[in-house]
Amino acid sequence: MTATPSQPHRCGTASCACPSVPVAPSAFGGVRRLVSPVRKSAGRSWPGAPTRRSRRVSRPAPLPGALTLALLPLVLAVLPGSFAGGGTRRWFGGRGEGARADAQAAKDAAAAAFYELDTAQRDLRISIETIVAVDSSPAARRAAADFEAFGQRIDEVSHQYITAVDAHDLDRDDLEASAATRARTELTAAKDALGRTKQDLDRFSQGLGPLLDKAETQLARLAPAVERARQTLLAASNALDAVRGAGLKADDLAGRLAALAPELTKLNQGAGQHGVADTLQRADRVVRDAEAVRAEAERLPERAREIDRRLVSLRTRAQALTTRSEQVEPVLSELRRRFTAACWQDLQRVPEQAVENVRQAEAKLAEAQRAREEQRWPDATARLSTVRALLNSTDEAVSAAGDRLRRLNEVSKDPQAEIERTRFAVRDAQRLAMAGRQRPDPRDARPLDESVARLDRAVAALEGRHPDYWQFLTEMEAVRATAARVVARIREERGQGAG
Q: What is the pLDDT of residues 371-405, one digit of tens each?
A: 999 888 889 999 999 999 999 999 999 999 999 99
The pLDDT assigned to 498 comes to 62
Q: Pick from 319, 340, 338, 329: which is nearest to 401 by CA? A: 329
- Evaluated on CA atoms 449, 450, 453, 458, the torsion sign reads negative
Strands (E) in 31-88, as ranges, are 31-33
Q: What is the pLDDT of residues 166-224, one digit of tens each?
A: 888 888 878 888 888 888 899 999 999 999 999 998 998 888 888 888 878 877 777 88
* Helix 377-413 with 469-498: angle, nearest 10 deg: 110
The pLDDT assigned to 369 comes to 94
Contacts of 172 (CB under 8 A, 6+ apart): none
Q: What is the rounded distance in angstroms from the CA atom of residue 217 to the CA atom of residue 355?
A: 66
Q: What is the rounded distance in angstroms from the CA atom of residue 13 to the CA atom of residue 27?
A: 33
Q: How confident is the model at residue 497 (pLDDT cuts 50, 70, 90)?
A: low
Q: What is the pLDDT of residues 66-99, one digit of tens each?
A: 333 344 343 333 334 333 333 334 434 445 678 8
Q: Is the pTM of this model over 0.75?
A: no
Q: What is the pLDDT of residues 415-454, one digit of tens each?
A: 999 999 999 999 999 999 888 788 888 888 899 999 999 9
The pLDDT assigned to 5 comes to 39
Q: What is the rounded distance in angstroms from the CA atom of residue 41 to the CA atom of residue 458?
A: 149
Residue 35 has pLDDT above 80, yes or no: no
Write out the DSSP string of 403-428. Answer: HHHHHHHHHHH-HHHHHHHHHHHHHH
The pLDDT assigned to 156 comes to 92
Residue 13 has pLDDT above 60, yes or no: no
Q: What is the pLDDT of residues 226-277, one digit of tens each?
A: 899 999 999 999 999 998 888 888 888 889 999 999 998 888 887 767 777 7
Q: Pick from 66, 12, 21, 25: which is nearest to 48 by CA? A: 21
Determine the average pLDDT of the residues in 405-415.
91
Contact 198, 116 (CB under 8 A): yes
Write out the DSSP string of 256-314. Answer: HHHTTHHHHHHHHH-HHHH-HHHHHHHHHHHHHHHHHHHHHHHHHHHHHHHHHHHHHHH
Q: Which neighbouring-strand residues pair with 57?
A: 21
Q: How confident is the model at residue 54 (pLDDT cuts 50, 70, 90)?
A: very low
Rg, the chain, Cα only: 58
Residue 56 has pLDDT above 50, yes or no: no
- By the 10 Å C-beta count (0-12 exposed, 13-18 middle, 19+ buried), 398 is classed as buried
Residue 144 has pLDDT above 60, yes or no: yes
Q: How confident is the model at residue 457 (pLDDT cuts 50, 70, 90)?
A: very high
Q: What is the pLDDT of residues 331-373, one digit of tens each?
A: 999 989 888 888 888 888 898 999 999 999 999 999 999 999 9
Residue 134 has pLDDT above 80, yes or no: no
Determine the average pLDDT of the residues in 144-162.
90
The pLDDT assigned to 14 comes to 40
Q: What is the rounded distance in angstroms from the CA atom of residue 317 to the CA atom of residue 323?
A: 10
Determine the average pLDDT of the residues in 50-79.
39
- Evaluated on CA atoms 484, 487, 492, 495, the torsion sign reads negative
